[in-house]
A and B are shown apart, each in its own frame.
Chain A
């Protein structure tokens, strides 16, 4: 991957990361309206100059009669370039490139103790003067940028006043009071990463992706399939009224494969496989082709086996991506620092997303994992065990310097992933803020970046399988289960996102998603068999405490988490295989459809 470093205005060919970090002296507690806004001079800084000038004017002068001025304003610009190439059966479906430059405004009125955040109520804003976020011009021209920033700041300020007034009224009426501050002060972060400009040959990529899609043609059971390449390069420009100013570059590429297979008996299975890394050069097409073939063979095999009709209760070994998913879904989401917003009406309650975030919030200091497991999250990691990770960032979406966080020590929960919104237990940010487009009012939450699970009792995987059989025998089982992949918990397609948004909000999502690949292991022999048609009965947070052993190999799993609003967060999870003592799985209804009437062409 070649990167153009525009700050130096010449081509340099260094690899993406490690970053050259320029950490200037940290400023704390800035007086308002002083000359804290240094003037920028080179071309790249027209954007910063426009942001700074409007920020300064707004914090000093933006005021409606008898109302307060904003006490905090932050501007975050996400200059994004996205490439998407889609192919199917060896034909190119689409190859598109798009650039966007979105400005996100975080404007607060009131005080750190009580402001317009953490409260969800309907607001009616103008179509002409928008609020919270807008698309900025793609070209750097001072006046055009200023006009756009001016209008969205105006709209966001009016909306903030409206929300704060409603919030105060609500508290008064309901006789409730939220004593936790709404927002906390942090050290302003000044950090400048080089800007990312990926250079690549799109027609060459088109060929590679169509070739990958042709790989699936030889599997007769695969009825529909596609391969999608995605490149996302984003530069974040951040500035706020506390004196923070930063630039962060981010590059993620990936390949996603989806297929629908049908057996002769009509069984239909939808499946996927993904490969995510940093630059295009990190995607090894030879290895990916091999992996797709292996995956397609497994899928073919799976669809031709009879669905399992018997329930299972006993030990389960989570191997590879399944172990990573298990830790992400239960632990990663569970330690998200999420402040429960006050919701104005019960009607709205149903519209607020339910993603199982922050479920561990009242277990601080308590044991949530066996004593031999510790967990940390480190946004500053670029790789783990020689595998590149994608979850990292140097500065978060609230412009806070990201920090490594020890989450679980010897099985005990000791911290959460935090943004500048404090919770009951934690009143500090550790630079894990992610922008969450909630209904009516966007908010920030603390979210997983690179989550690393460490075991002090690693056991060789063969030993782990032995142990699995042993426990199963103790349970009186004839066989035990190994799960290698789980469904993700988030919508993967636009249609699923639409469904989640409109139809599934009222339903809660299970703590652990359905298994995708399950193997049945005979406890008396070496016989192992791929099965399908089982789902977890009911899983509680306690599943983590039931881990009795861990493997010695650490898996790294990269993926992009997407919520129902379409916000995307890259995530990396590193975890060993884990043996869980007792889980119940029950048969689930599988899709069966008459096989095609006309033979495959």
Chain B
């Protein structure tokens, strides 16, 4: 992919002469801004249009046939209008009960570059946003007279340098019929396992192109595509517990998806693991030493740590603010450093889903140092400043139709106390002996989890492991177990890390929060913790199917 990068140099017309969308957006932006920036009593001081074009194509196969197929191309518009000033504007948090509308219906715009049609929509949406901005701003001015001052009095918005950049649009390129046949064949493997109640092998291809213009002169066109294969199977244990495993494969180019033989190996091992899980004993609540395998560790950090260092949470009066006042304090062992670097495209030759060039506020992606040798150094910043952090570090992200907040991109957990995995395992057993525990746990895979960051709830997290083994101190073979969730509180959990492996790996996923779904990655080594707490997972009460699975007719 050819890219050219121009900073603070050209006027929009020159670079984007061929790009009619960005031109239409820029024209309409400046036409509106000319009027609205002079509107009394509360003029507009900043405006931004962002259009996201999403082209999605998916194929799902199960038991040798296609069960679902979709192809969709849409363009969505987000209009941001700010009235007031950088210091105080209509995006300021309202501390009274603000009604949250769960329904977000994104604004669709033409996919065929029709300038007039696009202009009409830009105009109508700007008008709506401008009116809403005025109304909210008046409310905010009012509130400031009746309520106490917030603890963080940072401005509501920070200026950002003008950027002009355009790259070739990355379109989807794959042979649909060929892939349908591949998926049919791969998914047919599950036919021989009637104890698996649901299974699928799917391909999801997405290309996302973003067009952004703002009144600071920034003009951006950037584009990315991705291909992901998902292998999924589910079953039910005899006691009614629902069990599932999935295996994702991610690549920016379809050519980098592994061959069928390798995918077959993934499928076979997934079937094997699910079978072991189905027959595995239930684990009782336990607290003791454990290893979180690399990918599982990435998810663990994303959930318990990553979400708490998002900038806006340090300012909001509704948030728990676990780390806000801990700047320059030691929050985890000194052999660990954490940063979020969306500029990373690959790690160990593998593509990163969380990579991007610019965020959704027109700011260039940057590496953000969060923890340096155990000491908290910074936060993930959007253009909403917080005390001590006046500018963005390019982490303002959103899904179309949502309001931007600071989000993770590529979270990187780096250790200086690395040992080979085998040694980590030996240390786990040693630690168990020290604590007089008969066994420790290894968490191989984690489905995801959730974390409560709000001030009114407890500051806890829950992480859902998919595949866990018990490691016995007395030399008995490792044993697959099921039915546990990891629970805990972030500050305590982070201080329990003893050492790490040298086996860094990637977790590629999609993260959902208040600004919608965004692609993310986490890079982490396996970690040994002196204490982790697991509790019983809630379990279904259904029986497995009454009649045996139908088999193919003998003819």
Which A positions have Cβ atoms within 8 angstroms of B?
A: 53-54, 57-58, 61-64, 86-94, 96-100, 124-129, 135-144, 146-147, 150-151, 154-155, 157-158, 210, 213-214, 217, 223-224, 494-495, 498, 593-594, 596-601
Contact = CB atoms under 8 A, between A and B. Distances in A.
B116 A217 contact: yes
Contact of B540 (A58, A89, A126, A593): A126
Interface stretch (B64-72, B144-152, B378-386, B431-439): B64-72
B123 A601 contact: yes
Nearest to A222: B120
Interface stretch (B290-298, B490-498, B523-531, B546-554): B546-554
Contact of A597 (B39, B105, B109, B118): B39
Nearest to A143: B552
Interface in B63-81: 63-75
Interface of B: 28, 31-32, 35-36, 39, 62-75, 103, 105, 108-114, 116-124, 126-127, 130-131, 191, 194, 197-198, 234-236, 240, 242, 244, 540-543, 545-547, 549-553
Contacts of A151: 197-198, 545
A99 B39 contact: no
Contact of A94 (B72, B122, B194, B542): B72
Given A91-B114, A99-B69, A601 B103 contact: no
A168 B116 CA distance: 64
B541 A124 contact: yes
A390 to B, nearest CB: 27
Contact of B547 (A61, A87, A597): A61
A144 B63 contact: yes
A596 B39 CA distance: 12
B20 to A, nearest CB: 12
Contacts of B112: 91-92, 210
A336 B247 CA distance: 50
A139 B120 contact: no
B127 A597 contact: yes
Kindly name the residue among B65, B120, B197 whose own CB sees the greatest number of chain A CB atoms within 10 A: B120
A62 B546 contact: yes
A497 B540 CA distance: 31
Contacts of B62: 137, 144
Nearest to B33: A598
B114 A129 contact: no
A88 B114 CA distance: 10
A58 B547 contact: yes
B36 A138 contact: no
A513 to B, nearest CB: 23
Given A598-B35, A601-B123, A90 B114 contact: yes
B71 A96 contact: yes
Kindly name the residue among A88, A158, A600 whose own CB sees the greatest number of chain B CB atoms within 10 A: A88
A141 B65 contact: yes
A600 B123 contact: yes
A141 B68 CA distance: 14
B105 A494 contact: yes
Given A90-B114, A138-B66, 15 more contacts: A64-B543, A87-B110, A91-B117, A93-B108, A93-B111, A139-B65, A139-B66, A147-B63, A151-B198, A213-B117, A224-B121, A594-B131, A597-B35, A598-B32, A601-B119
B110 A93 contact: yes
Chain B: interface secondary structure? mixed
A128 B112 CA distance: 41
Contacts of B116: 89-91, 217, 601
The 8 closest A-B CB pairs, nearest first, are A91-B110, A91-B117, A91-B114, A89-B117, A146-B550, A144-B63, A126-B542, A139-B65
A17 B550 CA distance: 38
Contacts of A87: 110, 117
Contacts of A96: 71-72
Contacts of A54: 550
A128 B131 contact: no
A100 B541 CA distance: 30
Contact of B110 (A92, A128, A599): A92
Nearest to A96: B72
A88 B110 contact: yes
B130 A597 contact: yes
A154 B546 contact: yes
Contacts of A593: 131
B123 A144 contact: no
A154 B547 contact: yes
A63 B109 CA distance: 54
12 contacts: A62-B546, A92-B114, A128-B542, A141-B64, A144-B62, A158-B543, A224-B120, A494-B105, A498-B103, A597-B35, A601-B119, A601-B123
B117 A90 contact: yes
A53 B542 contact: no
A156 B75 CA distance: 40
A66 to B, nearest CB: 13
B547 A495 contact: no
Contact of A601 (B28, B74, B114): B28
A125 B542 contact: yes
A594 B131 CA distance: 9
A54 to B, nearest CB: 7
Kindly name the residue among B36, B235, B547 whose own CB sees the greatest number of chain A CB atoms within 10 A: B547
Contacts of A136: 67
A128 B236 contact: yes
A453 to B, nearest CB: 38
Contacts of A139: 65-67
A530 B543 CA distance: 65
A138 B31 contact: no
Nearest to B130: A597
Contacts of A98: 70
A145 B116 CA distance: 49
A217 B545 CA distance: 59
A146 B191 CA distance: 12
A93 B39 CA distance: 32
A158 B72 contact: no
B73 A94 contact: yes
A126 B127 contact: no
Contacts of B110: 87-89, 91-93
B535 to A, nearest CB: 21
A498 B102 CA distance: 10
A88 B552 CA distance: 50
A597 B39 CA distance: 8
B69 A128 contact: no
Contacts of B126: 598
Contacts of B122: 601
